[in-house]
Each structure stands twice: as structure tokens, then as C-alpha cells.
Amino acid sequence: MKINLGKMWIYALITEFSVAAFGQKVRVGYEKGADFLKFRSYTWAAPAMPVTRPLAYASVVGRVDEELKAKRLTKTEMDGDLVLIPAGGLEFGLNQAASVPILPTYDPTTWIGATMPTNLMAPYVPEGTLMLTFVDRASNKVVWTGIVTEKLDIENKQKSLERIDKAVVKLLKQFPPHKK
């Protein structure tokens, strides 16, 4: 059997890009009647909780500021047209394989291994969540909310910061919402 290296590279690249493209989970909601063209400036609201990861927080704030500047929104220290409320954090979930299904015909006493918890050897995988909420200061109504989640690498902080940047860019691609 002859291996075609060109095809292998193409398959590897397609796999890598599809994993990168679907790594972030983004959800967005917005006020259907809001006129986003009237908003010219924004102000950051203070985080509700103390910042526990200042490097990640600074990275998010910097990337959001860059993305909004590209969309011609001006950052102001107070009295912006929009108030930007950040929220988020890290959760640690188990990266665990599927275990034996529990069916009515399943008897756990027939196999000793099934009584062991499957998560004892599973590594904890951090998942970062960022929620950005834009509030119209004049009407005091939420006009846009976006949530993005991204798996982070606990060992490689630089890689995690790059993933955070990509997640913020992907989230803010949907702000302001596109009229259909």
C-alpha cells in the first residue's frame, strides 16, 4: 500500500482547522427593535466580582477594545452610549470516557470493574466562559448579550491566551447583529 503524503497533509490540515473552527461555542441574543447605528461610544462597567486572573482579564478587555474600535465604537471612561458588562470565569469539567450504559437488563454485580467510578483517572479540563452584555444607557435596557466558551490549556498559558483572543474575536463578529 502506497501512502500519499500530499493527501495526508491535506487531511491533517482539514482536521486541524475544523477542530479550531468548532472549538468555541458562541451564543448571542439581542433586542430586535434596537437601532445599533445610533451607538457611538461605550463604557466598561466594573466587574461584579474581584478579578482572580488579571492576565486573562486584561487580555479580554484589550481584545474587546480592539474589536469595538474596529467597529467604530469609542471607549469612554463614563457616560458612553452603551454600558459593557463583562462576566465570566473558569470551570473545571471532567474529560471522561463514556461508561457502561445503565439498562434494565444490566447487572452491575456480574462484572467487578463496573462498580468503580470512571472519573478517578480522568483529567480536569478547564473551560473558560465569557459573557458580554451591552446595555443602552439611555433606556437602561439590554440590547445585546453574547456568551462564548472555550477549552483552555492549564499547562500552557500562552496557548490559552491565544484561544481567549480567538474566542473574543468570534463572539464580537456577531456584534452588532446583521439585519436580515
Q: What residue segments make up the domains of the chain, in order of their start?
A: 21-94+121-172
What's the pLDDT score for residue 110?
A: 54
Ranges of the chain with pLDDT below 70: 1-23, 90-126, 179-180
Looking at residue 32, its pLDDT comes to 92
The reported pLDDT for the residue numbered 9 is: 42
User: Strands of 82-94's sheet, edge to edge?
Assistant: 25-30, 141-151, 124-136, 82-94, 41-44, 74-75
CATH fold, domain 21-94+121-172, is Double Stranded RNA Binding Domain (3.30.160)
